[in-house]
Amino acid sequence: MPKEDLHLPVSWDGSIFFHTPDAPASTPHRHEELEFNLVTAGRAAYLLGERRYELTRNSLVWLFPEQDHVLLDRSPDHAMWIGLFKPDLLSRLDAGSRLDADKAVLLEPAPAGNFCRRISEADGARLSALLDELQAVRQDTPWFNAGLGYLLFMSWGAYLAAEESAAGPDVHPAVEQTARLLRDDPEPLTVDQLAARVGLSASYLGRLFHQQTGITLVEFRNRQRMDRFLRLYDGEQKISALEAALETGFGSYPQFHRVFTEQMGCSPAEYKRKRQQGRRPQDE
């Protein structure tokens, strides 16, 4: 899967933003920035290959550049801070202080193991306060960049101090294979074809997938279609929304319009207008 361009300002060493309950549904993606999420309310889950992370208040999860991840099963009150750190920031920190073994893992593209823990209430409060302060100075680039480096080390220190793992059980191999097929195969597969590929009955696969991911096969398939649509429509190639929708697996424009509006929180026309104005609807 190609890496997503998050369109961060060139002068910034990363970014932070608050992910609210009304944010659009997530699609599987990866990006060159190291990412952490700090849950402040509600519950959700991350699916990373064969792993599933269960997220509740004060869960702190790290997502690395070569890891496809998708946020699933969000409760209505789910909210979290997201921190992003560019590779150049990590390289400068490593060159300046030679990161010790505990921090060196932050330089890896996809380290083995689980990277989700539930930090203490005190550490969660301290991190939230720091994030609030950084949000207030984000237009002052030198202050903001200085704070991002401190945030990186402070949040990693809180993670290391936590002992409880928030990782859930591994997902069934058939569920992981189905998710990969839906993500990577450009040809649309029916549920019966998917079931045959993974060696389960269609009904059992549907129940198992929903049980372990929190969403249905249809919902997951639509998220993959949306991911492919956005990468095609937002790319360099000039293409209409209808052409991109049909090329990425939607059967009709009305079906595409309904799924787009549900997942993005705006119509395709509104999305196009905001993109032309240099804004991402997700950032509002």
Domain spans, the chain: 14-161, 173-283
Which CATH fold would you assign to the domain 173-283?
Answer: Arc Repressor Mutant, subunit A (1.10.10)
> Which range is most confident: 105-119, 128-142, 170-184, 200-214?
128-142
Q: Place 221 in a pLDDT band, splitting at 50, 70 and 90.
A: confident
Q: Is residue 106 predicted with pLDDT exceeding 60?
A: yes
What is the per-residue pLDDT across 15-44, written as a single tens digit (0 to 9) for each?
999 988 666 655 557 788 999 999 999 888
Q: What is the pLDDT of residue 25?
A: 56
14-161: CATH topology: Jelly Rolls (2.60.120)
- Average model confidence (pLDDT) for the chain? 83
pLDDT higher than 90, residue 122: yes
Residue 281 pLDDT class (50, 70, 90 cuts): very low
Quick one: pLDDT at residue 284? 44
Three-class DSSP labels, the chain = CCCCCCCCCCCCCEEEEEECCCCCCCCCECCCCEEEEEEEECCEEEEECCEEEEECCCEEEEECCCCCEEEECCCCCCEEEEEEECHHHHHHHHHHHCCCHHHHHHHCCCCCCCCEEECCHHHHHHHHHHHHHHHHCCCCHHHHHHHHHHHHHHHHHHHHHCCCECECCCCCHHHHHHHHHHHHCCCCCCHHHHHHHHCCCHHHHHHHHHHHHCCCHHHHHHHHHHHHHHHHHCCCCCCCHHHHHHHCCCCCHHHHHHHHHHHHCCCHHHHHHHHHCCCCHHHC
- pLDDT surpassing 60 at residue 2: no
Selected residue with higher pLDDT from 101 and 109? 109
Q: Tell me, what's the pLDDT at 21?
A: 66
